[in-house]
Amino acid sequence: MRRACLLIALAMTAGLAAPARASPSVAVYGGTDGVGTIFIATRLQETGSFGAVTILDGSESAAALGSYDSILFYTNIGGDSGFADKMAGYVAGGGHLVASTFLWLADSHGGSDGLGLLAPYLPFTGYRGNSTGLTLGAYDAQSPLMAGVDTLYSVYHDDTTLAPDATLVASWSNGMPLEAVSADGVVGITLFPNDSYGYISGDYVRLFSNALLTPTPRSFAARVAVSEPASLAVLGAGLIGLGWVRRRA
């Protein structure tokens, strides 16, 4: 009898604590890339991994931005400190951000073309040029961020420095960092995602798709704490019930 009650309680707890999740809703903001943002947004949508891929114009409120599971933020040449400040708030609230080239070029611009309040959250610092053809170098083959990424080539990238508290995931063939995760859970990719300019090949769409689909430990923990207290409460109640059944048996 005790075993039957235990199995029933576990089944009920598991069913309530782990509801099915819909496909992730993601957004893309390309700053100075303008309408060029549509190219990477289309590539991501074509993977079939996302419920929706929305192109942002930068005017969205914090509440609107917070509705997205993940956001890809990149620029073409300059930065956008206004949107960067919004992304700092998004990350602080548990949002999953993927930051990409040419965002780090903004490090050398400053002002309204800079990184604003977002800079301390990023896994890379500084800017040392770009526009040399590079291929995929050493990488962590066990990382879900690199699943299915076997080849890569690009001319458009940011040569940067790994932040002291960041974790390196992959490097370019010249040893420069390609992908890393900051202590605040931001995934950084030093690769320009818009393929309409050419000079890019390999598994770059998979690279960005993985980054948007793989919440880092910090961003996942923050989002669960905010959005799933009911599940945790049910789990706790289930465990209490199991203890009562055991004492009564």
What is the reported pLDDT for 220? 44
Task: Determine the residue type at 9.
Answer: A
CATH number assigned to the domain with residue range 2-10+23-248, chosen from the 4 options 3.60.130.10, 2.70.98.30, 2.60.40.1120, 3.40.50.880: 3.40.50.880
For the chain, residues with pLDDT lower than 50 are: 1-20, 219-249
Question: Contact, 94 vs 225, CB < 8 A?
Answer: yes
Short-list 212, 12, 189, CA closest to 97: 212
What is the reported pLDDT for 161? 93
What is the reported pLDDT for 80? 83
Task: Determine the residue type at 181.
Answer: V
What is the reported pLDDT for 216? 60
Report d(CA 217, CA 105) in Å as an integer.
28
DSSP-assigned beta bridge partners for residue 202: 152
Short-list 182, 205, 181, 180, CA closest to 192: 205
Cα dihedral: 73, 160, 180, 56 (round 10): 0
Encode pLDDT of 39-92 as tens digits. 999 999 999 999 899 999 999 999 999 999 999 999 987 678 899 999 999 999
